[in-house]
Amino acid sequence: MAENGVNPNNKHYGSVVDLLGRAGRLQEAYDIVKSMPMVPDVVLWQSLLGPCHIYGNVKIAEIASRKLVEMGSNNCGDFVLLSNVYAAHERWKDVGRIRDIMKNRDVRKVPGFSYVEVDGAINKFFTGDKNHEKWREIYDKLDEIRFKIKEFGYVAGTNYVLHDIGEEEKENALCYHSEKLAVAFGLISTSEGTSIQVFKNLRICGDCHFVIKLISMIYNREIIVRDRVRFHKFELGTCSCKDYW
């Protein structure tokens, strides 16, 4: 770039780090960050932290998280990503430690919710929600989904539950995430073949992402989920994000 008269800045380095992170080449990405002639900014460290969750790299996740804290970042999502990495490795003491740090720094986790529009009405759901007038039908549909997806080899991604509880409790907790409730409501409230569009205020969890892929295949539905990170178009068992978000 310098040969062409372009002096690389944080954005240029961030693009390279993002590409390497997507490919799982996290050590190379970190080496580039260390070699930068300028101080990496918050966005760049977040770009490095994100793929650590996808690929389960605890070491680099801890480094990126520590740098973000040193820079004064109080972004709830950054702490949650590190907690997810720890939970995936069943390091529950570290999950608790991160929770204590968040409490001491007054970083509050934003409650996750999802909503879906049906017949011009917005239907909003929180995890484990039973406030909707059709909640029993929604839960029955989720039980049906739960049975069907197991026929396709589904095993609950209990590593996404950030609590040291029993496996059965974790599976039940995952089953009633807000995006699953919204999708189930869409299935019972719209005709076959109709596209379902769901909006979520936070990043969709890995288990929900996998389950919705299966739902799109089993029920032959196009399901579009807009989460905090990107649009996900689920169709015939695949997602437009190619499982990276």
Q: Please name which of 212, 174, 187, 171 lies closest in space to residue 123, comparing C-alpha atoms.
A: 187
Residue with tokens 């239907």: 123
Residues whose CB falls within 8 Å of the CB of residue 128, separated by 6 or more in sequence, listed in order: 173, 176
Other C-beta atoms closer than 10 Å to the C-beta of 190 total 15
Q: How many CB atoms lie within 10 A of CB 106?
A: 7
CA angle 206, 18, 32 (to 5 degrees): 130
Whether residue 192 has pLDDT greater than 90: yes
The domain locations on the chain are: 2-104, 113-239
Spatial distance between the Cα atoms of 205 and 210, rounded to a whole number of angstroms: 9
pTM: 0.76
Q: pLDDT by residue (tens digit) across 81-132?
A: 899 899 888 898 999 999 999 988 888 888 889 999 999 999 999 999 999 9
Instruction: With a cut of 90, say whether residue 165 has pLDDT above it.
Output: no
